[in-house]
């Protein structure tokens, strides 16, 4: 699991691309990149279908500074290969 805070798309891609290496070191079947942001106009950056099939999962947690109306943007092998948005708040 890798936790990030307010990363741009290029940085997110770098973390997603590095995740399989970490998974191999730990003999893990899946890895998670979890990104927290309170950035206005946020657009999620996702893993490729190949990365997803290799067990790389991504969650973006977008929120306001007061942590009201938290939105989870999830793309994982557990969401039946569909992106899923959940609103908590």
Q: For position 72, what pLDDT does the model report?
A: 84
33 CB burial (10 A radius; 0-12, 13-18, 19+): buried
Read off the DSSP letter of residue 80: T
Two tokens, residue 45? 């950056």
Question: Which segments within the chain are labelled E, that is strand?
Answer: 2-5, 31-37, 56-62, 70-75, 84-88
87 pLDDT exceeds 80?
no
Question: pLDDT (tens digit, 9 = 90+) per residue, 13-40?
Answer: 999 999 999 999 999 999 999 999 988 8
Question: pLDDT (tens digit, 9 = 90+) per residue, 43-81?
Answer: 899 999 999 999 999 999 888 777 777 888 888 887 755
Q: For position 80, what pLDDT does the model report?
A: 59
Domain count, the chain: 1
Quote the domain boundaries for residue 63: 2-88
The model carries a pTM of: 0.84
């Amino acid at each position: 699991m890798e936790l990030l805070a307010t990363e741009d798309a290029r940085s997110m891609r770098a973390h997603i691309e590095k995740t399989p290496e970490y998974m191999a070191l730990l003999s893990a079947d899946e890895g998670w990149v979890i990104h927290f942001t309170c950035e206005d106009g946020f657009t999620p950056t996702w893993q490729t279908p190949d990365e997803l099939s290799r067990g790389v999962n991504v969650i973006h947690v977008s929120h306001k500074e007061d942590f009201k109306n938290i939105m989870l943007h999830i793309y994982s092998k557990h969401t039946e290969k569909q992106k899923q948005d959940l609103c908590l708040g």
